[in-house]
Amino acid sequence: MRIILWSCFLLVLSSCGDTAKKGTPTSKEVPSKSATSTTQAGLPSITLEEMQILYDQADYIDLIFYNMDFSMSVNDKGNVQRVITFVDKTQPNPNFTCPTMGRIIFQKNGEILIEADMHIDKECRHFVFFKDGKKVFANNISDQGMAYFNQIFSKVKVAPTQ
């Protein structure tokens, strides 16, 4: 029964992004430079060039949520691009230390382009990006991104596991 419900949820979720813009992003859709991390002060923002590569090339995203009985994948190009636009150009507050609540993995043809830890709680809402196992960038999650994650959490009624 749980598998059937999960499959239905993924089907509904995959159709949610049908209104995502297709084609080449405008400068409004792709974040520019600026950020430091709450978990590692001094990290730069992800570059415009890196965001453009993700937007153009990423074809699959895995979202793994820690301490929750839940994970998901996004494999529709429009929805992948929509998730990429959730990377905001604003800086995370460097004074907060927030636990990592999950990992997002951006892929192209099964190869990892970049990974990011997700920090989402009452005080934090940002990504810390990794390449080759090292922290390289940090950016806030946009309002649209937070709405997306909150919608997912409310639909599946996820609760942290003990």
pLDDT tens digits, one per residue of 15-74: 343 333 333 333 333 333 333 333 445 799 999 999 999 999 999 999 998 877 889 999
Across 132-142, average pLDDT = 94
Q: Under 8 Å CB-to-CB from 159, ≥6 apart: which residues?
A: 68
Q: What is the pLDDT of residues 74-131, one digit of tens each?
A: 999 999 999 999 999 988 877 668 889 899 999 999 999 999 999 988 888 999 999 9
Please tell me the predicted confidence (pLDDT) of residue 36.
32
Q: Under 8 Å CB-to-CB from 31, ≥6 apart: which residues?
A: 45, 46, 48, 51, 87, 88, 89, 139
In a domain, 97, yes or no: yes
Domain count, the chain: 1
Across 130-153, average pLDDT = 92
Please tell me the predicted confidence (pLDDT) of residue 110.
95
Alpha-carbon gap, residue 51 to 31, rounded angstroms = 7
Please tell me the predicted confidence (pLDDT) of residue 135.
93
Q: Which two structure tokens, joined as six digits, stand for 87?
A: 């990377």
Confidence of residue 3 (pLDDT cuts 50, 70, 90): very low
In a domain, 161, yes or no: no
In a domain, 134, yes or no: yes
In a domain, 142, yes or no: yes
In a domain, 162, yes or no: no
What does each C-alpha distance from 120 to 97, 108, 111 come to in angstroms?
Answer: 11, 25, 26
**Residue that is written with structure tokens 């209104």 in the block:** 19
Burial of 122 (0-12, 13-18, 19+ CB in 10 A): exposed
Query: What would the DSSP string read from start to end of 43-59?
Result: PPPPPHHHHHHHHHH--
Give me the domain span that covers residue 146.
2-156
Confidence of residue 133 (pLDDT cuts 50, 70, 90): very high
Please tell me the predicted confidence (pLDDT) of residue 97.
80
Q: What are residue 76's DSSP bridge partners? A: none
Return the H-helix or E-strand segment holding 144.
helix 143-156
Please tell me the predicted confidence (pLDDT) of residue 38.
37
- Long-range pairs of 155-158 with CB within 8 A, sequence gap ≥ 24: 155/9, 155/12, 155/13, 156/9, 156/70, 158/65, 158/68, 158/69, 158/70
Confidence of residue 12 (pLDDT cuts 50, 70, 90): very low
In a domain, 64, yes or no: yes
In a domain, 61, yes or no: yes
pLDDT at 132 over 50: yes
